Amino acid sequence: MTEHVNNEHNRPVADAAQAQQASGTVLSPDKPLLEVKNLQVDFTTDTGGAVHAVRDSSFNVYPGQWVAIVGESGSGKSTSAMAVLGLLPGTGHVVGGSIELEGKDITSLSTKDFEHIRGREMGLVPQDPMSNLNPVWRIGKQVEEALKANGMDVKHEKRSNLSKAFANAEVDLQKKDDELFISSKELPGLLAESKQAITEAGVKDVDKKLAYFTDEWIPGSETRWRVAQDLIQAGVNQDKAWDIAKRNVTGSSIDDRIAGLLAEAGLPDAATRARQYPHEFSGGMRQRALIAIGLASRPDLLIADEPTSALDVTVQKKILDHLKQLTDSLGTAVLFITHDLGLAAERAQHIVVMYKGRVVESGPSLDVLQHPQHPYTKRLVNAAPSLASQRIISATERGEDATKLMEHRLVDEQGLDRSEHIITVDHLTREFKLPRTKDLFKAVDDVSFSVKRGTTLAIVGESGSGKSTVANMVLHLLDPTSGTVSYEGQNISKFNAKELMNFRRHVQPVFQNPYGSLDPMYSIYRSIEEPLRIHGIGNDSSRRKRVAELLDLVEMPQSVMGRYPNELSGGQRQRIAIARAMALDPDVIICDEAVSALDVLVQDQVLHLLNDLQAERGLSYLFITHDLAVVRQIADEVVVMQHGKLVEHATTDEVFEHPQRQYTRDLLAAIPGGNLELGLDTQ
């Protein structure tokens, strides 16, 4: 499809052109940094056939520009990125087209030649930090490995071509010693002389200036010329500023450089963090470590492959904000791989949409969002769970329909009236004993709410907020330290074995990870049939018929009965998990991050399925998620949790339109693409 092209597409290059005119650095505004033409990538099968993973795909990345490749799993976006890096897995190989980096064809480079440019000219921030960081190496050791593997001089800064152009436009960097890093040993003396110099220069707010220097002059990160420039801007005579910088900045140690890189990536107390292991880091901290490694050798191009897909939206926003600021300052272009169109449009100047191995649409971000041309792009835009999206069906309508459907079920088998609230959580608290200490950690702190029959209540919050702990107590997988969980007005902790078995029949879970929640040794039939067998429902024939009905219910072909989980996609596995949860005809389903691991289109399909099941069967949902955009699509009420406490509880519309707490406002502000107008409901 023809790309949309306007001046916005080339804006970073225009800035580079201005810098080049001022500095004399050779940078062509008309020439892309990365040019991929008609790329074709095949994977050889066991039978000798070929899977065409990427077909005739073309895209460009200009110096300093962010370009996002968007598409669902299997679209070819990550394969295209790995082809650029020369890291195609398994039997993958480039069979056609070309890849040019800074005008040099790198399509057919040898492994050795690729190793020479990988790291130095192209960096990578991969998706899963736990599988990409060595668990038995300290973080600092892994940053050091990246520096040594690429032959980096830890005393001197190496700049990308674009960064060099901007720097040369500001100050003459002909002398390599101007790029020497500050060392931690020299910093106290540098600060002392700088304070004396700005005091003698009669500068006002000396303490304020010194505080700025203390924050900005990071050993192993800031250079001699930046020190001189900061002193000059603070009011120190130019000759005096350069004299102070030359005497006090003579190059960093390897430890300083490692800490400097980690600090640049946003890790506080970086020198201490460098001595820690990956398991001592949170998910966001591990991702920052990977960013430090990816940018350690100052590449002109950074490939970020789903770098924040496993993180909470607030952590994701902080990391991407920092990455944008850092790559802008370094002059590094970014090829950003993601399945989230809203995130892509918010971060990138240019979007490339891939579908079944082909580029189907490409253009400036807002053009693609507001005026999608290809049917697949329209589907992506319509499925994007942003603030611009409307709920699948309004909460009021869905509640009314559910109430009508449930009228015949409001009296149970014993003829007792059923309450309006099917699940009630009352002053729930859960404490955990911390290892190697007598201290207690309060994971859930005095939380109360109720789930109305036939509606959806969502619990939202960041990792560690206590929302999944609440879900586990509602499922009676954890006992509360205090407080109660009631089902149909009865305290579940008082249930005997028979009553608990009956409770489990009526309250079923759908967990986050469809890869881990299905037994890999069980066929799909056995996975769905197992709850029926455990509860003694039917014989073999009737159970097989019930499994077939459940597969129809979740829109899966009956032919999958004999297949195994590893033969299905993530979305298909989650449908199987929902079918298993529906096997016992429950009243309540607890969805613990049930769609967070899925692509946006698959996520949209699963949300519609859950909504349809609720409308047809009067189900009640307790929906656990960190993604408020998803909440907008499905929930009637929202509970917001922070640090184990309930901080806000209201209807979905009230939470989105009139949030009461700053934490809720922060969660809303972190939704990718939330402030962008999307081309919704495009036919």
Give the list of residues 6+ apart from residue 315 with CB closer than 8 angstroms, or none: 283, 284, 308, 462, 463
Are 201 and 349 within one domain? no
- Residues 290 and 377 placed together within one structural domain of the fold: yes
| Residue-wise pLDDT tens digits, 35-66 | 999 999 999 887 888 889 999 999 999 999 99
Quick one: 368 and 420 in the same domain? Answer: no
| pLDDT digit string, tens, across residues 536-569 | 999 999 999 999 999 998 888 998 999 888 888 7
> Which residue, chain included where needed, has tokens 């100050």?
171
On whether both 41 and 134 belong to a single domain, the answer is: yes
Summarize pLDDT for 416-457 with one digit per residue, the tens: 345 689 999 999 999 988 777 778 889 999 999 999 999 999
Q: Is residue 176 part of a domain?
A: no
Where residue 402 falls among pLDDT bands split at 50, 70, 90?
A: very low
Show the tokens assigned to 345: 């449009």
pLDDT band at 595 (very low <50, low <70, confident <90, very high): confident
Q: Tell me, yes or no, whether 665 and 646 share the same domain.
A: yes
Model-level pTM? 0.77
- Whether 428 is in a domain gets the answer yes
What is the per-residue pLDDT for 239?
92
Where a domain ends, among 251, 281, 311? 251
Instruction: Please give the tally of structural domains in the chain.
Output: 3
What pLDDT sits at residue 163? 63
pLDDT at 384: 73
User: Regarding predicted confidence, which is higher, 38 or 341?
Assistant: 38
DSSP notation for 287-323: HHHHHHHHHTT--SEEEEESTTTTS-HHHHHHHHHHH
**Could you give the CA distance from residue 413 to residue 189 in angstroms, rounded to a whole number?**
82
Residue 1 lies in a domain: no
Same domain, 245 and 263: no
* Boundary (domain end) residue, out of 251, 273, 288: 251
pLDDT at 160: 64
The pLDDT tens digits for 246-260 are 999 999 999 999 999
Q: Are residues 276 and 373 in the same domain?
A: yes
- Is the pLDDT reported for residue 16 higher than 50? no
Q: Is the pLDDT score of 586 beyond 90? A: yes
Q: Judge whether 171 lies within some domain.
A: no
Q: Tokens 């018929």, residue? A: 545
Residue 325: pLDDT over 80:
yes
Q: How far is CA 34 from the centre of its chain?
A: 25
Conformational region of residue 662, where left means phi above 0, alpha means psi within -120 to 50, and beta covers everything else: alpha
What is the C-alpha to C-alpha distance for residues 14 and 398, in angstroms, rounded to an integer? 52
Q: Tell whether 574 is covered by a domain.
A: no
CB count, 10 Å around CB of 673?
24
Helices (H) and strands (E) in the chain, counts: 27, 20
Domain containing 215 equals 181-251
Q: Quick one: 407 and 474 in the same domain?
A: yes
Least confident of 464-468, 620-624, 655-659: 464-468
Same domain, 266 and 239: no
In a domain, 530, yes or no: no
Flag whether 49 is in a domain.
yes
Q: How far apart are alpha carbons 16 and 3 in whole angstroms?
A: 23
Q: Taking 50 as the threshold, does the pLDDT of residue 142 lie above it?
A: yes
Q: What is residue 672's predicted lDDT score, i.e. its pLDDT? A: 79
Q: Are residues 463 and 507 in the same domain?
A: yes
And the tokens for 377?
């792009």
**One-character DSSP codes across 368-430:** HHHS--SHHHHHHHHH--STTPPPSS-HHHHHHHHHHHHGGGSB-TT-PBPPSEEEEEEEEEE
- Judge whether 174 lies within some domain: no
- Residue with the larger pLDDT of the pair 318 and 482: 482
Residues 220 and 276 in one domain: no
Asked which of 222, 251, 280 is the last residue of a domain, the reply is 251
Looking at the DSSP bridge assignments, the partners of residue 442 are 431
Q: What is the CATH number of the domain that holds 607?
A: 3.40.50.300
341 and 456 housed in the same domain: no
Strand residues in 435-536 grouped as ranges (E): 440-452, 456-460, 482-487, 490-491, 507-510
